[in-house]
Every structure is written in C-alpha cells, then in structure tokens.
Amino acid sequence: MTALSLAEIADGCPRLARRLQLLGPPIPAEILPLIRSGLVARGYQAIVDCAELAVIPAAAWRAHGFRRSAGQWHAEPWLPAWLDGRQIAPDLEPARRAPRRPNWQLAADRFYADAARRPAYLSPGQKESVRAVSAARSGDSVICVLPTGSGKTDVILTRAVRSRPRQSCLIVPTVALALDLEGRIQDITGERQQFAYHGGLADQEKADLAQRLRDGVQWLVITSPEAACTALARPLEAAAAEGRLDLFAIDEAHIVAEWGDAFRPAFHTLAGLRRRLIDRAPAGRGPVTVMLTATLDDYGLRTLQRLYPGTRELIISAQITRPEPAWWMSSCATEDDKREHFLEACRHLPRPLIVYTTLHTSGQSTNVPTVLSWLRGAGLRAVAGVTGADNPGARRAASRGLGLAGDITGDRDIVVATSAFGLGIDIPDVRGVIHLCVPESVNRLYQEVGRGGRDGSASVSLVLWTEADAQVAREMTDARLIGADKAWKRWQSLTTSSTAAFSDDGLVTVNLSTPTDDVTYPWSEANIYWNTQVLSAMDRAGMIQLEWPAPLDMPADATEEQVQEAFAAYRTRMSARILDGDLSGRADFRQRLGAAQQAARAAAAASMESATTILGGLDRCVNRYLADHYRLSVPSGFLPTARQCGGCPHCRAQRLPPLLLSRPVEPLSAGALAVAARQGLRDLAPDGRLCVWTDEPDPDAERELVSRLIRRGVVALVAAGPWSPSPGPERSLWWADTVADWLAPPGPGSLLVPALARIDASGPPAEEAALLLSRLARGPLTVVLTTSGQPSPFGGPELLRESWGPAYHINDILGKI
C-alpha cells in the first residue's frame, strides 16, 4: 500500500492545507481527523512519518482510527459497535465525497440565462417554476416546492430582475439568508447597492433604502416580516398604490406554518399586509405572490393557501428525497454515553460538521454550551457555537469560518447550534450533520439534515439521543392552545369591551390587552399572547379573517429592537373580519374552534411522531417514509414525492446500494395559470385558433412575424426541432419548446400560455401534429405557422390552413399586427 506525505494529503484538502499554515505545533484533535479523511478517501492509505507530526502521541493516533504498521500510521475502517453499520463505515462515502446528486440540467431559456446569468436549468422542476412565476399575472398566487440544491431562489430573482423598474419585496426569515440573497443579486446585476433591509444597517442606510423604495428606484428589497409590517409598510403601500409593486415573495415558506402561531406571529400578520397591498393596487397592477420551499406537508400547504390565496392559484411540486445524507441513529442510555459516542464520531468523521441541539439554556436536554465544553475538553479549538441569542454577526462569522471564507485564524471545523443556525446557511461541502437531540418535528429534522451535502456529494446524518431528549421534544410539541371555553370567554370580552369598534362591513377592531375577569395584569405579555392565540385559532378555523390595519408612521432608520418592539406594541390592536355567522352562540363557537385546534394539535403531533418513528427504527426505508409524509393532497388527488436514498438502517440491512434516480423527476402541478394574449391578437382568433401560411420559406418575414407575436403576448414557440429563425432580442417573455416536450409524459402542466407552433414538411409527422394541436388547444390561443399546401393532420381532404381557425398569408397578417 502506497504511503502519502503530509503535503500530498494537504494538496487534496484545502482545509488541512490552511491549518498547516498556522504557527505552532499541530493540535492532534484537529489535524488528525483531516489527515484521516484524506487517507480514507484514497482507500485507507498510510501517511509517511514526518517531523511536523512526530510530537503527536501514539495514543492520539489510535483514538482517531489509525494503526501502526511497518513504521507508518494506517487509517483503519471505523465500525462502531453502537451503530447498525452492517460492516459499512459511516465516514467512508463522505470522506470520498461520493457523487450522489444526479445531473438533471436542461438548456436555459434565453430569458432565464439573461436574467439569472445561468447557462442551464438545474432540473425540470426549476424550469417549470421559473416559467410559471415569470408568466404569472396580477393577483396570481404560486407555490413552488423544489428540493434543496435545485436553484429555487433563482425562481423569484429571475422575475425580480426582469420586471425592473417595477418593484419586488422578498420576505426571508433570517438576516443570514437576506445577506446571502443580497450577494447573489449583486453578482447577477453588478449593482453594489443594498437590497437587504435588516438591523445591522446603519440608521442612515435604513432611511436611504426606505426612501428609495418609496420613490420607486429601489427595485428589490429583501427583509423580515416584522420590518415589512412596520418600518417598510408605508413605502410598500406607496409602491402598490402606484402600481409599481410587481412581486411579493416568501422564501422558506414552510416556516409560515411552523413559526407563525407563536414564535414569529409576523408571518401570519404579514398576510393582512399583503391583502392590503393587493387591495390598494390599481386594477391589473397588483403584485404576484410567490412562496418557495424545499419541504411542504399537507398542513403547511393548507396554511399557505388560507393565508395567501390568489385570484388564480398554482402549486408546482418536484419534491424528491435527498440522496446525499446516509442516516445513522443511536439511542443512548445516558448523557455520558451520548457524549462518548459523539466525541468518537468527531474523531473519525470528515470536516466540516454542524452539530444541532434543541435548547441553548435548558438543563433537560443537551445544550450548546455543554457541547462546546465537551469539544474543547477533547482538545478541539476550531469550533463555534450559535444560539438564537447571538447577533447576526456571530452567525455570519460562524458560517464564513465553516466555509473557509475568511482569514485562516477564523476557520471553523465544527459549529454547534440551535435551530437558529439553519435557514440561510448555504455551505456546499458540509460533510456531516449531528443531532444531539430529538427534533420536535420531522420538518426540522429533515431541513437540518439537509444542511449537509449541498454540493451533491455524500454526507452523514447522525442522531444521538436519550429518552430525556424525547421528553423535551414532546413538551415542545404540546402547543399552548387555549381551551374552547376560555377562548369563548376571551372572545366575548374582546368584542363586548368599550374599546371594541365595529364597522358596517363586518370588521371588528379589538384591544388585545382586554382582560377577562380573572386577569390581574391586562397589559402583561401573557394576556396579550392568549388573546392573540384566540384570534389566530379563530382565523385558522375560518371563523374570522385577520386584517392588518394602516401601518404606523415609523422611522425607516429604526433599530432592529425598535422594529420588534413596535411590531409587538402595534399588535395590541387587531382587526378581524367575521366570515360566517355572528359567532355569538357558545356551542357553535366551541365546536368550530375545537375542530381547528384539534387539526393543529394533530399536525404537530404527527410531525413529532414522524421524527421519533424515524429515530426509533423503521421496517422500511427512511426516505420512503419521508416521501409518504411529504405527499401533498390536492383536489385532483396527490402530488407525490419521489424517493432517493443515500443509505439508511433498513437499506443497509437489505444490503441495498444507494438509490439514485437516473431520470429527472418531472414537476407535477395543481391549479392553473392562464396567460392571455393582447386584445388585438385575440380579436383575430376569436376561438383561440389562428393560422399563418407562407408560399415558400421566408426567414425575414417569419422572424418579423415571431417578434411581433411575442410582443403581443405569444409565449411558447413549438417546433419539431430547434426553433428557426430565432427571434431577435426581445424583452417580452418567450421560450422555445420541441414537440417532444409537449408529447412526453407527464405532458404540459397547468401553465397555459399563447403558443406559436410550426407544422410543415419538416415535421412533425401527422399523428404527432394532431396530438400536439389537441394539447395546445387547451391553452388560451394557438397560432400555427405552416405552408400553403400542408395537409391537415386530422385527416380528410382539408389543408391545415383550412382546418385551424382563420387563416392569413404571412404578408397579410403582418399588415394587421
């Protein structure tokens, strides 16, 4: 077996190469895992003795999985008895960076390549989503569910870039994600201005950004729901009222259901602001609403549909389970066992690693300070901790250190975090995610496992947990939902108080500090919280619709703390529109509210149960279980989730290799968006059909025809092969499809656009042409470009120009359009 020098190993490991540049003797606990992963990746090779490593004790080498033989240290397979390894080493494939993500790239449409600076779509799901969001019209609502790594952010950024100078507002849950998106948009456009509005900006920077938004020159703002509802509400309303607001988008939209009830109520309140923006916009100039997420279950889908409905609605789903992580789980009898197994894993797993705990202060379950003390006690120094209490700078520093994006002294191999370190963290080469807890929902578990392997290569997911961890998760899942009797009592107090105000159109405005007879401190957070919970529960039950009243005149340069305080203070008054009945009957109130609360409890309990079931052991593939969990129920049936698997206990027991799909997962959809052509073109095709014919090929006339049709609303160009002649530079939206794209399963989705189809002697064959035209006929308008003598594909003596709507010679139609 060939032995490698330290320099040869470092040549293939930038993290090790950077570590060797630090002054002083190497720290065994940090350098040996890096050396080990380099040797494991090369087939368990050995390292040549060298002076730099002579100071490392033999015991340290052995603890990190090395064996001394023939004067050299050899990396040995790591097969811990406390894991169900089946003689499979958990660290082997991650160390080798074994490819897991299939390459499903597709040629980019020209409008997407120009806007996003991308040469290709990453998947059919991304292509369908980009097209749908770009083609959506005023008042439409689109939900896109795309797997991690499929470029979902580009779906909204493409529209935002193309719709300039009209304005877009993107809502994100974390500052880290806002800054990441800001950097991406700066790279796309070359504009160095600020797009992210957050607490870390200087006062004048905030004021300037808000003023640019109000003036219409800030074409994109990325911000939190709290800031949108307070400091930026007036500028957003001004943009909407003048018809300048084109796009209202929510990234990581699954958190609306997970966080909105209590943790971040602004995600629910935001729905009222969004309705107000749409109501204030001129007819036909209201914003399109887009929601993006990588994971969505039925409860999350229903929540989004209830809070953010559209005039027309479309769901695009291309959900597929992640193939990068291999799942490993171990129930530990004691906290000491957990600590020992964790440190053993840290001595063997490749870097970098993210370690998740549940709470940052609780003594009931493993917390961040405790884990940091374990690591530092084991000699590790290149570690960092992140909790919800840390400022955005600390989280960003930890992320940059983990991704080797800063000075060498700031490099970090392991970050220990609560769930605060997750959304917005996009470090491609994280090789492992370790949970030292039981996540309180399957969504949280799956989202955090997904932080590993974002480069498409193998990663490891290791969960070490005790019964105490499971109990903490159960307690967190027991939502603080008020009982129906107490809710009735509070509703009566809110609406009969002298501070309640009723309008003629059914709107009631209440003071959230209104007490019941058993409340001692009306202005306490607890009283306001429970009154808010009553209204939120009634909103979920469809009894009322919460409204966002006129925003405060809050200074744009307010600090993050002031924004949060203002949001909390502003929410001491809330307006609600009564939707059904007068809600004055106690029995009916209790029945309706109880049903909604039971649904919320059931959803939370089911999500928790799914997480514990995965950890406790399954008699089937973990990813099959996840695929079933994320199957979406829609009126037409189901939108299934496809399965891939990078390894799990069941598949290892069956000696099954990783399951990677060779064929792309085609997007499925529910609902429909129909895009109309301009009136002048519709007048020429009253039945949605129009034929243009030529005597002989005329590329110049055809190019002019195509350009004019695109400017009048034709979007899809369909031909047997590549469309020719290609349109010149057109700002209007268009794309080219082949006949095969329309005939291949699952066929055209629910995005219906005006189309131009070429059918002539070059193809397609009559049978395919007939099927193509029957499918195109579902759309709002189809123009056929053909030759004078082309037979009808539907049979009989008719020519195509005689059987497909009004027909015009190309010169005649050019005179009309």
C-alpha torsion sign, points 25, 29, 34, 40: positive
Structure token digits, residue 317 = 């789903």
Under 8 Å between Cβ of 783 and 754: yes
Q: Could you report the per-residue pLDDT of 80-118, keeping only the tens digit for each?
A: 999 987 889 999 999 999 999 989 999 999 999 999 999
- Please list the residues that pair with 434 across neighbouring strands: 355, 462
What pLDDT, on a 0 to 100 scale, did the predictor assign at position 479?
54
Q: In Å, how far from its chain's centre is CA 210?
A: 26
Which CATH topology does 675-816 take? Rossmann fold (3.40.50)
Q: Which pLDDT score is estimated for 703?
A: 93
Burial class (CB in 10 A: 0-12, 13-18, 19+), 691: buried
Q: How far apart are CA 731 and CA 709, in angstroms?
A: 13
Question: Distance (Å, rounded) from C-alpha 563 to C-alpha 561?
Answer: 5
- Which of the four CATH numbers 3.40.50.300, 3.40.190.290, 3.40.50.1110, 3.30.530.20 does domain 117-319 have? 3.40.50.300
Query: 630: Cβ–Cβ under 8 A, 6 or more apart, which residues?
Result: 295, 296, 297, 319, 641
Of the pLDDT bands very low, low, confident and very high (cuts 50, 70, 90), residue 310 is very high
Q: Where are the domains of the chain?
A: 1-76, 117-319, 484-587, 675-816
Q: For residue 727, what pLDDT is reported?
A: 86
**Assessment of whether the complete model's pTM goes beyond 0.75:** yes
CA 717, 317, 149, 628 dihedral sign is: negative
Report helix, strand or coil for 223. strand
Do the two domains 117-319 and 675-816 of this chain adopt the same fold? Answer: yes
Averaged over 530-548, what is the pLDDT? 79
- For 162, residues 6+ apart whose C-beta sits below 8 A from its C-beta are 111, 115, 134, 733
User: 700: buried, middle or exposed (CB in 10 Å: 19+, 13-18, 0-12)?
Assistant: exposed
Q: Which amino acid is it at 358? A: T
* pLDDT at residue 1, as a whole number: 61
Residue 561: the pLDDT is 67
Structure tokens at 622: 């973990």
The CA dihedral of 53, 56, 61, 63, to the nearest 10 degrees, is -150
Condensed to tens digits (0 to 9), the pLDDT of residues 692-732 reads: 999 988 899 999 999 999 999 999 999 999 998 888 777 89
The span from the CA of 436 to the CA of 473, in Å, is: 12
Rounded-to-integer distance, Cα 408 and Cα 308, Å: 45
pLDDT tens, residue by residue, 586-601: 888 888 887 777 776 7
| Cα dist from 720 to 77, 82, 469, 730, 815, whole Å | 55, 59, 60, 22, 28
Q: Which residues contact 46 (CB under 8 A, 6 or more apart)?
A: 1, 2, 3, 4, 39, 69, 72, 73, 74, 75
